[in-house]
Amino acid sequence: MRTIHYIAALAFAGFASSAMAQPAKTECIAGAKPGGGFDLTCRLAGNALHAAKLIKDPMSVTYMEGGVGAIAYNHIVGTRPGDAGVVVAASSGSALLIAQGKFGKHDENAVRWLGALGTDYGVLAVAADSPIKDLKDLIAAFGKDPGAFPVGGGGAVGSQDWMKMAMIAKEAKVDPKKMRYAALEGGGAVTNALQGGHVKIASGDASEMIALHQDKKLRILAVMSEKRLPGRFQDIPTTFEQGYSIDWPIWRGLYVGPKVSDADYNWWVDTLRKLSKTPEFQKEREARGLFAFDLLGSDYDKRVKADVVRFKALAKEAGL
């Protein structure tokens, strides 16, 4: 009987340890102002987790503007490295900035990457009345006279939008540094500039341009994806379909501090895995214009680090 009691006690202790891995309070840090991609990621995670009853209380969102996520990255590493209740929003843009050393002394190994919640895709667009009808037309015209095609993007030189167009410039045999690039404050400013005739090419994300494309206020030339996207994008050709092996998935995910315990880290990964299969999450993801991109735990960690390597090569090639 004593042995049975001992085994039972061990089993109970293991259960209690597992239960304790769930944080009492949850918080998501968005490393920018409200309304952007980091905010979208935090809202998606928090709303879906609560709706699916995977967390007891609603998740709070803290905005920590600065360096397009750099301030938040340094904060979690330096100030709250072991806080198991705090997750931080990230994107492929985070990996791009890390690759360029724009997160300071901390590299891609400084945090613990939890998982991706979904992805958007890069797109290139022109005005609705532009004589350019497809990607081949754009590359031919841009190659002949790049100065005649000012480009608008949401971010400075070296940002995701700049890099998307830099790859197109490479296909046109144009030095990306010679692009007439206008660094604008977000996707809304980019599409406004395109419609106003201030830029001739808009580099942005599928989710922020599709409604304007459908309303014939601009024309999306290509989605930067290997496979055609479903739903509202089913009639828009991809870069690969038009003969160019260029893709730009914009994944959105989460990370935690470097000193978060394995038990707490695994609780988050397991919980996100459960979440990804719920109708509550799928509804929230679709409402935010994202597509399925389920990478969790070690798989996500490998993807982030592979992207950093890829972006370092792209940045070097572009002369950054």
107 vs 315, higher pLDDT: 107
Q: Are 165 and 124 in contact (CB under 8 A)?
A: yes
Residue 159 amino acid letter: S
Residue 62 placed within a domain: yes
- Geometric angle at alpha carbon 120, from 116 and 121, rounded to 5°: 125
Is 19 domain-assigned? no
| CATH number of the structural domain spanning residue 76 | 3.40.190.150
Residue 146 lies in a domain: no
Note the pLDDT tens digit of each residue in 136-178: 999 999 999 999 999 999 878 888 999 999 999 999 999 998 8
Q: Could you give the number of structural domains in the chain? A: 1
Give tens-digit pLDDT for 267-309.
999 999 999 999 999 999 988 889 998 899 999 999 999 999 9
In a domain, 220, yes or no: no
CB-based contact 290:113 (threshold 8 Å)? no
Report if residue 186 sits inside a domain. Answer: no
Which amino acid belongs to residue 258? P
Q: What's the DSSP call for residue 138?
A: H
pLDDT in tens, 230-239: 888 999 999 9
Sign of dihedral through CA atoms 236, 242, 248, 249?
A: positive
Q: Do the domain assignments include residue 210? A: no
Q: Is 177 inside a domain boundary?
A: no
Question: How high is the pLDDT of residue 83?
Answer: 96
Range of the domain at 270: 24-119+249-317
Whether 299 is in a domain gets the answer yes
In this prediction the pTM is: 0.81
